[in-house]
Structure 1
Amino acid sequence: MTAAALDTPLRRRADGASLLCVCVLVLLLTPARLVVRGLPMSLTMSDLLGLTTLTLWMCAHTTTTLGIAKGGNAVRRALFAYALAIVFLYGYATYAYLPSDELNSADHSLVLIVANLGLALGMCDAVRGRERLDFVLKGLVVAGAGMAVVGAVQWILGFDLTAYMKLPILSSNDVAVDAVEARSGIQRVPSTTGHPIEFGVIMAMILPFALHYGFHARDRGESPRRWWIAAAMIAAGLMFAVSRSGILAVLTVGVVLFLGWTNRRRVQALGVVVLFLAVVKVLFPGLLGAFYTLFTNIGRDDSIRYRVHDYPNAIEEFLRSPLFGRGIGTWYAPKHQVFDNQYLLTLVEAGALGIAAFVGIVLVGVYGAVRARHLSDDPRDRNLALTLAAATIVPLVGAITFDLLAFPQIASLMFFMIGACGSLLRIAENERGELGSRGFSRAVPVGG
């Protein structure tokens, strides 16, 4: 072997983290309206990758040589419980008669949930070690920056890049997405998502990861510049979405981070926010004013009044089947009234069990991140756990303001985050177990 060959680093074999990184890039950078041709139901490339991940996860668990994690943790057990609840609700709804259109919608919803569970289980069990988890989450930041670029081109130039972001195997579904949408005279864009609300909330969920890698880049011997640029791009994307839900999401993230950060980090973050807002004010003079108008006109906003108007109808429908609902995916527009509130929609479709499953799976994900933070002594891991907790809890807030699970990209991202919480918890538990076993072996002499 030559000296040059010895100096060449070995190529890393593709593993679960490689697949999950591809999944998140496809999820966020493929326009939401594009579905795979020739299938009996509308499935995106991301949905197929989720189903593939689940299939590979099941196959890998039949061997001991593919490196997938064995044994459960709190997050994986919660994912199994969620899956059982969904299967029960599907069986309960389809046991009785359902109109063919509602049955087809229920079937479609079940397939999407199974794909999202595959994404979560893949993150939880197939992403092994801190380095590989960082690899996937860095891919998430890159994808978020790419989404922000598409949104910026839409907002600044009025040009829709997504019209050219398609492959021959993909076709557009029947849902129309405007590249630039105006509401109450305010311009906003969806980027690659199906709606500006979804775009804004996704940017809010990804932003803290860019900040995390920016703050800790020097600890890894890297330049933080690329991560601060990515953070600025993602924050700009959040602004271009011009969404109240996006602002509520980023405030939720900010509150959680501020509770866990040191005083020094809080001051640094406040300085970054002030600098960013000053740049936005100079470069895009009307943008901050648009947000001000968005919140000051809440009392006169038709969308707010429409949300409140939903409540009596939703409660009436919920009381028809309060425990198990009428069936997930069976309440859809234009056949039924739209509920711009995921809690109301879940009450109607899945009843009390569905609400418990939705809230429970998110809270267990947050618990997994908090538990990992408690177990770890590494400042980077502790901040990553805090970041995951902040991003994972966002859906519980966003569900108040819009039907969150009806937006496929943010629903998939929610399960991705829950799986990442499980992965970090597994890493922390394994490291704590190794430390404990080493300490025990030192304390008890061999042969003693």
Structure 2
Amino acid sequence: MSTVGQHAPVPAVEHAGLVRANGVGDATSLVTIYIVLLFGIPSNVTINGLGSLGRPALLWGLVLFAFWMLSRLQWRNVDVDRISQPVRIAFVVYLVIVLVSFSAAMLRGQPADQISPAMSWIVSLVSSAGVLLVILDGVKTMRDVTRLLRRIGIGVTLLAVLAFLQVLTAQYLLDFWGSVPGFTLGFGGVAERNGQIRASATATHPLELVTTLNAGLSICVAAALSRGFRSRGSGGSGFWWWVATAMLALVALTGLSRSAMIGFVVAVVAMFPAVPRRHRLSVLAGGVLLVGALIAVVPGLAGATTRLFTGVAEDGSTLSRTDALARLTEFMSGSPLIGVGSGTFLPRYYIFDNQWAITAIELGVLGVTAFAAIFATAMWSAWDARRRSTSPDVRLAAHALAASVLIIGLLFAFFDGLAFPIAGGLLFVLVGLCGAIRTVAVADAGHPVWGDQLEVFPAPPRAESGRPLAGAEPLDSTSHVVRSTTRRSKR
């Protein structure tokens, strides 16, 4: 019996997406605007009169939070069911601990110069919540997931190109923002280390840039392997994605940063198992050629890179981080359970350059555990999607998302990442996508589509021999679209 247009469940792997809310736009478009603002406008550019709260990406995150709340109040039936999301639970627990810690700190009383940063930190977290929740509840199809992944890949590639131009010219190239009416250009620019230029692109610091590029590297590799996550037969090519991957590697290897090197190595190791066996030798050869070309073209690069690791025992930044960790328990002793208060530990007390350590001080043991749970549940969600799905693109995208979240979590041990807009904003986008891709995998695993005449069956019809009947083979989920007007019952 044909069920087209009646009660056929819509495969999330290719469904066109949620209906537009009130004719304004869908979740994918709204999140895309956030990504453009996050990557495209320098992090040190703010709207006049708003201070640190005047960053356009932060303000758009608040718009997304309001959009999510209104959408929840006007919730309509959709084709793809909502499922339980461990990511959502972990984030809500983290948010509750942040608010409890903030309230306790305000009740204890704080110096005047700590109140404003603490409140700004809460507003920033609400903005991040808007991004995360819109993705979790609004991005429910593989088409939308891959659109966002492609746009993130394009964004990080453009950041790498800008950073490369900054290195070549030894100029910031973004000073014109200081003359744009209504905006203020804050501190930022290119730096120098061991005689080499360290670029920051639109980030506020080179460490923030390399964290963003290394997190995006796995996405670009996945896009290259899947030909841009294009459907089979669409004619897509992965060549330009390999070019993008090479550009990211180029900037990471010439950034003269231990964090960049460590993140790059982790990204390569994490994504290498996803490379088909027949292509692994070619990828290795291309990587070796790229490194060799860099050493030959950039004078002193090999020596400067070697000194980063051989001289680590005498390096000032390394010694500072080591000494800081030795004092961690001292700063936690006042309130070990919920911390001294979110956003109240200012650099004047101590500079840790470690987001995990700062979280432990500001939010205590409960807070740092909840923060770690966000990373853990995000990676688990991506791997659960990889385990459930039979679609190569879903499995590959899930692998890349898990690797990206792992890289950010690792590099947060080298700087206070949540204080940097691009690194913190990208984290919550990726965490949301980890939950979204799990929605896709669970929805399609529970409702397989069979038949070659757009018919849906609970299982493939089989002959007495147990084999599927001719013409009842499963359709390629990347090329099949079925419309539905009725919501499926909850499982």
TM-score (norm 2): 0.82
| Matched position secondary structure for 1:323 | coil
In 1, the alpha carbon distance for the partners of 2:104 and 2:278 equals 53
Tell whether 2:159 aligns with 1:122: no
Structure 1 segment 305-324 matched on structure 2, within 5 A: 305-324=319-338
1:158 positional shift: 1.2
1:441 positional shift: 6.7
1:165 positional shift: 4.6
Counterpart contact for 1:47–1:112, Cα < 8 Å: yes
1:281 corresponding residue in structure 2: 295
- Call closer, same or farther: CA 1:225–1:165 in 2, change over 3 Å: farther
In 2, the alpha carbon distance for the partners of 1:172 and 1:71 equals 43
2:200 corresponding residue in structure 1: 190
- Choose from 54, 57, 61 the match for 1:50: 61
1:302 corresponding residue in structure 2: 316
Deviates more, 1:281-290 or 1:395-404: 281-290
Counterpart contact for 1:196–1:242, Cα < 8 Å: no
| Matched position secondary structure for 2:363 | helix
Output the amino acid matched with 2:250. A
Cα deviation, 1:377-427, whole Å, max 9, x if unaligned, reads 111211111100000111221122222222221011111110010110111
Counterpart contact for 2:223–2:241, Cα < 8 Å: yes
1:80 positional shift: 2.2
1:32 positional shift: 1.2
Output the amino acid matched with 1:356. T
Structure 1 segment 303-382 matched on structure 2, within 5 A: 303-333=317-347, 335-382=348-395
2:409 corresponding residue in structure 1: 396
Structure 1 segment 215-254 matched on structure 2, within 5 A: 215-217=225-227, 219=232, 220-254=234-268
- Choose from 157, 167, 189 the match for 2:169: 157
- Call closer, same or farther: CA 1:252–1:336 in 2, change over 3 Å: same
- Call closer, same or farther: CA 1:340–1:141 in 2, change over 3 Å: same
Counterpart contact for 1:200–1:247, Cα < 8 Å: no
1:420 corresponding residue in structure 2: 433
Counterpart contact for 2:383–2:399, Cα < 8 Å: yes
- Choose from 126, 131, 136 the match for 2:143: 131
Output the amino acid matched with 2:60. L
Structure 1 segment 97-112 matched on structure 2, within 5 A: 97-112=109-124
| Matched position secondary structure for 1:393 | helix
Counterpart contact for 1:123–1:419, Cα < 8 Å: yes
Segments of 5+ residues of structure 2 without an aligned counterpart are 1-18, 451-455, 463-491
Output the amino acid matched with 1:39. L
Counterpart contact for 1:199–1:238, Cα < 8 Å: no
Segments of 5+ residues of structure 1 without an aligned counterpart are 1-11
- Call closer, same or farther: CA 1:34–1:314 in 2, change over 3 Å: same
1:443 positional shift: 7.8
Cα deviation, 1:152-193, whole Å, max 9, x if unaligned, reads 1110111222212564332123xx2232x1233333111111
In 2, the alpha carbon distance for the partners of 1:95 and 1:412 equals 29
In 1, the alpha carbon distance for the partners of 2:83 and 2:67 equals 17
1:367 positional shift: 0.5
Output the amino acid matched with 2:245. A
| Rg comparison, structure with higher value | 2
In 1, the alpha carbon distance for the partners of 2:276 and 2:241 equals 20
1:265 positional shift: 4.5
| Matched position secondary structure for 1:223 | coil
Deviates more, 1:84-93 or 1:106-115: 84-93
TM-score (norm 1): 0.89
Tell whether 2:222 aligns with 1:209: no
1:40 positional shift: 6.2
Q: Tell me how many residue pairs correspond in the alignment.
A: 429
Deviates more, 1:199-208 or 1:212-221: 212-221
- Choose from 50, 56, 73 the match for 1:39: 50
Counterpart contact for 2:46–2:52, Cα < 8 Å: no
In 2, the alpha carbon distance for the partners of 1:352 and 1:426 equals 31
2:93 corresponding residue in structure 1: 81
Counterpart contact for 2:177–2:185, Cα < 8 Å: no
In 1, the alpha carbon distance for the partners of 2:285 and 2:76 equals 49
Output the amino acid matched with 2:264. V
Structure 1 segment 13-32 matched on structure 2, within 5 A: 14-32=25-43
More helix by percentage: 1
- Call closer, same or farther: CA 1:346–1:272 in 2, change over 3 Å: same
Counterpart contact for 2:82–2:439, Cα < 8 Å: no
CA RMSD of aligned residues (A): 2.4
1:200 corresponding residue in structure 2: 210
Deviates more, 1:219-228 or 1:255-264: 255-264
